[in-house]
Amino acid sequence: MPLKTHLDDQPSLNMTPMIDIVFLLIIFFMVGTKFTELERKIGLKIPEVGNSGALTAAPEKKVINVHRDGVISFEREIVSLEQLVEKLSVVQQEYQDFGVLVRGDAEGPFQNVANVLNACRTAGVSEMGISVRLDKRRF
């Protein structure tokens, strides 16, 4: 069996094509930038449209907390029923399919939760939910 007596050449990587592509990309982006600057300088009056609402999807359901003593918190601030209606109306005008999730304290009277649900309905919110937790001891 013949033994190797000479060393093989190390493999080499030809960088020329990669450098050519990088230079072409740099030139392409430089020319593209010039065209956008020229387009902005054209004296056109852009047409205007009315506010047709948000272009994004509705946000996740907002959480309204009703504490044991009847205090209402919405987006981490304490609000009254009137302030809640105002805030929800503003969001409802922008997002038609906006929803809320009402979390009431189990020890508090349900009337407080009912008042918040009525305020949501007054603000035009059609998708409402009440948060509950399953008692694992009973099932």
Are 102 and 111 in contact by the 8 Å Cβ rule? The answer is no
Give the model confidence (pLDDT) of 60-103 as tens digits.
888 999 998 989 999 889 999 999 999 999 888 888 778 899 99
Can you give the three-state secondary structure of the chain, one letter per residue?
Answer: CCCCCCCCCCCCCCCHHHHHHHHHHHHHHHHHHHHHHHHHCCCCCCCCCCCCCCCCCCCCCEEEEECCCCCEEECCEEECHHHHHHHHHHHHHHCCCCEEEEEECCCCCHHHHHHHHHHHHHHCCCEEEECCCCCCCCC
% of residues, the chain, pLDDT over 90: 34
| Domain boundaries, given as residue ranges, for the chain | 62-130
What is 62-130's CATH number?
A: 3.30.420.270
The single-letter code of the amino acid at 15 is M
Residue 58 has pLDDT above 80, yes or no: no
Strand-pair category, 127-130 with 77-79: unpaired
State the chain's mean pLDDT as an integer. Answer: 82
Q: Which residue has the higher pLDDT, 5 or 126?
A: 126
State mean pLDDT over 24-44.
78
